Amino acid sequence: MSPAAPRSFFTAGVRQFIPLLVICAGVYAYHNSLHGPFIFDDLPAISNNPTIRQLWSLRSIMSPPPGLIGRPIVSLSLAVNYAWGGLDVRGYHAFNLAIHLMAGLALYGVVWRTLRGLGDRYRDEAPWLALAITLIWIVPVLSAGALLRDPRRRVSAAPPLVYGGDRLDSIGNGQ
C-alpha cells in the first residue's frame, strides 16, 4: 500500500461529512438570531397580513395584499409558518435558516461539480475548495438580511430550487 493510500481513504471518509459541516456552521452562525423581532417589511407581510391567517384559503394566500404582490410562494410559506406557530418569530427565522442552509448546500454542489468537471487539475481539491467557498458565503453577517427578514426568503430559496432542477435534469440524462 502506498503512503498516499491512507490519506486518500481518510479524505474520502471525511468528505462524506462536508454537508453536515456546512449545516453545523450555518446553525452555529445564526442560532442566536432566532429570537430577533419582526422588522421592516415583516410587519405588513406577517403581523398585519390577514391573508396568511387561514391556510385552507389558498385563493386569498395566492393573491396577497399590496407589497407582496408577485410573491405567492412567499405568501404560501408565510401562511404555513403562521399555521405552525402563529406569530412566534422563532418559527419564521428557523424556516429562513433552513432555506439558507439548503442554498448553501446547493452552492456546495454547484461549485464541487464545476471544479470536478474541469479535469484532473482540481479533482482532489474540489470538495475542499467548494467547502471553503460555501463557508465564506454561508457564515458572514452579510447574508443575515435575507435570513432575518422573512419576506426576503425568496432570495435564499432560488438557488436550491435551480440547482435541484439542474441536478434532476442531469440524473435524467444519465450524467
What the block records as the C-alpha cell of 16 is 462524506
Specify burial of residue 28 (Cβ count, 10 A radius: 0-12, 13-18, 19+): exposed
**Interval 111-129 mean pLDDT:** 86
Tell me the pLDDT band of 144, cut-offs 50, 70 and 90: low
Calpha distance 116→80 (Å, rounded): 38
The yes-or-no verdict on residue 4 having pLDDT over 90 is no
Higher-confidence residue of 68 and 37: namely 37
Where in the chain are the domains?
36-172
Quick one: pLDDT at residue 5? 46
Quick one: pLDDT at residue 31? 82
Q: Which has the closest alpha carbon to 79: 48, 46, 102, 42?
A: 46
Higher-confidence residue of 141 and 132: namely 132
Quick one: pLDDT at residue 2? 47
**Interval 79-107 mean pLDDT:** 89
